[in-house]
Each structure stands twice: as C-alpha cells, then as structure tokens.
Amino acid sequence: MTILLFSLRGVPDDEADEVRELLTEQNIDFYETSAGNWGMSMPALWLRDDAELEKARNLLNAYQQQRFETSRENYLQAKKTGQQKTFMKAFMEKPLLYCAYLFTMLLVVYVSIRLLFELGF
C-alpha cells in the first residue's frame, strides 16, 4: 500500500529537489505525483513500501530541522546587515506601483460602500 510521505503543494523547487535527492541517496523507493494540468491533483512524494516509513520520516524530520536552522540563520544575518527586505524598502524601490495598489484598494472600498448606501442598507 502506498503512503503519502511529503506533500509538494506550496513547496519551493529547491526544497523538493533536496528531498528527492535525500530519498534517492538513502535508497528509499518512492514515486511522485504532479498537480496535473489544472493543478487539481495532489503533488506529492509517496512511499511504495510501508516498512520504509519510519526511516523516511526520520530523514525528513532531520532535513527539515536543518533547513529551518539554516534559513533562520540566513534571515538573522540579512537582518543584521540590513539586507532584509522591509515594506519601506520595497515601497522606495517601486513607489508608483505601491501607490497604484493603494489607489485600487481605496477605489474598491469606495465603490462597495457607495453601492451599499445606494441600495438603501
């Protein structure tokens, strides 16, 4: 019986590649399903053998802990050096784009409220 090991929905490509590589290195028999043409199916890695589940879970847990620590370290380093992207930095890079977003949001709110009052609510 096949067992869902790792869902790939929303997983970055580099992480998915590393997980595939890890499973292959450890000779764990798995197969992958894609999201399909319309993205409706379950993209995931599945185990073919139930006996390998515990080994695979332990490997994934260790990998994810290591990835978390590395990502956290990179984030703290970027924050310390001032390279971490903030809202103000993003706004300063593209002020017209953010002003257009703000204008669009205000327009949607205005039209929604105006329609409510015109209908008599």
pLDDT at 32 over 90: yes
What is the reported pLDDT for 2? 84
Distance of alpha carbon 8 from alpha carbon 15, whole angstroms = 9
Distance of alpha carbon 34 from alpha carbon 68, whole angstroms = 25
Note the pTM of the prediction, 2 decimals. Answer: 0.70
Residue, of 118 and 6, whose pLDDT is higher: 6
Distance of alpha carbon 5 from alpha carbon 30, whole angstroms = 9
What is the reported pLDDT for 39? 86
Cβ atoms of 43 and 52 within 8 Å: the answer is: no
73-97 pLDDT per residue, tens: 999 999 899 888 889 999 999 999 9
Cβ atoms of 23 and 53 within 8 Å: the answer is: no
Distance of alpha carbon 113 from alpha carbon 98, whole angstroms = 23
What is the reported pLDDT for 121? 62
Q: Which is the CATH superfamily of the domain at 1-83? A: Hypothetical protein rpa1041 (3.30.70.1530)
